[in-house]
Structure 1
Amino acid sequence: MIWILFTLLAAFSQSWRNAFQSQLSKDINVAGVTLARFLWASPLALAYLVVLYQWRPAPLPHITGESTFFILGASVMQIVATSLMVVLFKQKNFAVGAGLAKSEAPVSAFLGVLFFGTSLTLLGWVGVLLGGVAVLLLSCPNGFRSISLSTALLGLACSSSFALTSLWIRESSLSLHLPFPHSAAWVLFLVISIQTVMLVTYLLLRDRATLVTMFKKPRLVIMTSVASCVGSFGWFSAMSLQAVPYVKTLGQVEVFFTMLISFFWLKEKIKRKDITALILVAIAAILVMWQ
């Protein structure tokens, strides 16, 4: 059941990362805010990998064509997903953007069953779908009519991209044929490194001004990278041990952390009906833990 601890760590860290990215998005464009997630995370991921091998020696990964596809696919898709989430932050408030992005659990369940051989118990399906309903309630503080069609489609695209990223990350970890946690550590380092190189290269060629602006906000950029790295460590580890839909459903406790941050740090209002959604999230989390 260690996957539960990794998931809770990931959810807590990701809620802070989203808050930092929301603040950055006020002054930096989408590409820059997306890069902030990865920029200083690569050295941390490498340090973790080195310490891990010193603590518990293991073979080096055997990179095949299949694992290369999954790693590259996850790297690109996570950039797409993060960029879409930043666009959501610019359209609605922080809590709404994070809520729409977190509807990935039911999407990952359907994609996993259809294309990745994932199997869920009846109790697991109930938990996943209940969590999805809770997230939709949190995403619509003024009712479903308050969200435009374009925002809803953007949220679906964002959650689908995150779901596909998660599924490919799990497949990447399994394809390396390494013991846990070495498999998750290698995927973490490779994915973050590829993403950093891709985004830095893009900005050097197309938008150097954004890089300059980012280095004028070192504290916020570093906090974003650190929170992202810790969150990714938790997600990658949990998904190496458990099916993605279960991990993502439990990970929806992130909305609880998000609402606390939104209220106390970003000074955004929270409505009473959100308590109902939080109760549903709690029930969904219990169901996937006990399935």
Structure 2
Amino acid sequence: MSWILFTLLAAFSQSWRNAFQSRLSKEMNVTGVTLSRFLWAGPLAVLYLFALYYYDPVSIPTFTAYSYLYIIGASIMQIVATGLMVVLFKQKNFAIGAGLAKSEAPVAAFLGVLFFGTSLSLLGWAGVAVGAIAVFMLSCPNGIKSISLKTALIGLACSTSFALTSLWVREASLTIDLPFPHRAAWVLLLVICLQTILLVGYMLAKDRKTLITMFTKPKLVVMTSIASFIGSLGWFSAMSLQTVPLVKTLGQVEVFFTMLISFFWLKEGIKRKDMLALLLFAIAAVLVMW
């Protein structure tokens, strides 16, 4: 049951990473906030892999063509997903933006069943339905008559991108001929390094000013990268051990951490309707796990 502990670690760390990125989004553009997730996570991933080999030496893995395809696809999709989530933060407050991104769980369930050979019980699908209702509620800032179609579509695109990232990360891990946790650590390292190279290269060509700012005022950027690395370590490890729909539905406990951080640290108010929607996410997670 170690995947449950990894998932809880990931959910807690990700809620803080989202909070740091939400605050960064008020000072930096979307590309800069997205890069902050990966910029300092690479060295941490190297240290983590080195520590694994030091305490439990195994062979160097053999990567197949599918390994590279899944790693490249996951890297690009996670960049897209993170960028869309930052856009959500700029449109609404932190808790609601993070809540819309959490519709990743039902999307992952649908995609997993359709394309990746996973399955859910009737109770599991009931959980998916409850999660969908919660997303609908968060997309209606002033009731059903004022549905924000734009916000809902961004939330759907964000969650779909995160879902594809998760599914491809798991598939990449399963193609590597190493025991756990080494195979998850290799995928983590390669994905973070590729993402960093892509974003730094883009910013060197298009936005050097923001890149320089990230190094001259590094505190919040470093905190974002550390929280992101711990969260990714948890997600990648859990998804290496268990199917994505189960991991992501359990991971919806993040909504409780999100509410606490939003209220106590970011000083953002949360409406009763929004709290109910976030609670429905948690109920959806319980139904699917059950």
The TM tier, using the shorter chain, reads over 0.9
1:47 paired residue number = 47
| Contact 1:97-1:139 at 8 Å conserved across structures | no
Q: Structure 2 stretches of 5 or more lacking a match?
A: none
**Superposition TM-score, scaled by structure 2 size:** 0.95
> Which residue in the other structure is 1:150 paired with?
150
List aligned pairs for 1:105-254, cutoff 5 A: 105-138=105-138, 140=140, 142-254=142-254
Structure 1: gaps spanning 5 or more residues: none
Segment drifting more, 240-249 vs 74-83: 240-249
The aligned counterpart of 2:283 is 283
2:104·2:159 contact (CA, 8 Å) conserved in 1?
Answer: yes
- CA positional deviation for 1:48: 0.5
Q: Matched residues in 2 for 1:246 and 1:252: separation? A: 10
Q: Secondary structure at the match of 2:272?
A: coil
Is the CA contact (8 Å cut-off) linking 2:141 and 2:148 kept in structure 1? no
Residues 9 and 22 (structure 1), Cα distance of their counterparts in 2 relative to 1, 3 Å cut: same
List 4+ stretches of structure 1 deviating above 2 A. Answer: 121-147, 271-290
**What amino acid is the match of 2:96?**
V
CA distance in 1, matches of 2:35, 2:63: 26
Q: Do 2:136 and 2:152's aligned partners in 1 also have CA atoms closer than 8 Å?
A: no
CA RMSD of aligned residues (A): 1.6
State the AA in 2 paired with 1:208.
Answer: R
Task: Give the drift of 1:204.
Answer: 0.8
Inter-partner Cα distance in structure 2 for 1:159 and 1:137 = 16
2: CA distance, partners of 1:36 / 1:199: 10
Residues in 2 aligned to 1:276 and 1:85: alpha-carbon distance in whole angstroms: 21
Q: Which moved more, 1:279-288 or 1:259-268?
A: 279-288
TM-score norm. by structure 1 comes to 0.94
Q: How far has the Cα of 1:118 moved from its partner?
A: 1.4
Check whether the contact 2:255–2:282 (CA below 8 A) recurs between aligned residues: no
* Structure 1 contact 128–246 (Cα < 8 Å) conserved: no
Write out per-residue CA displacement over residues 63-96 of structure 1, whole angstroms, 9 at most, x where no aligned residue.
Answer: 1111100000000110011011111111111112
Q: 1:204 to 1:152 in 2, by over 3 A?
A: same
Q: Give per-residue Cα distances to partners, 1:13-47, cap 9 Å, x unaligned.
A: 00100110011111111111000000000000110
Alignment CA distance shift 1:252-1:135 (3 Å): farther
Q: CA deviation at 1:220?
A: 0.1
Aligned length: 290
Give the counterpart letter for 2:111 in structure 1: L
- Output the CA distance in 2 between the equivalents of 1:278 and 1:99: 7
The residue that corresponds to 1:256 in the other structure is 256
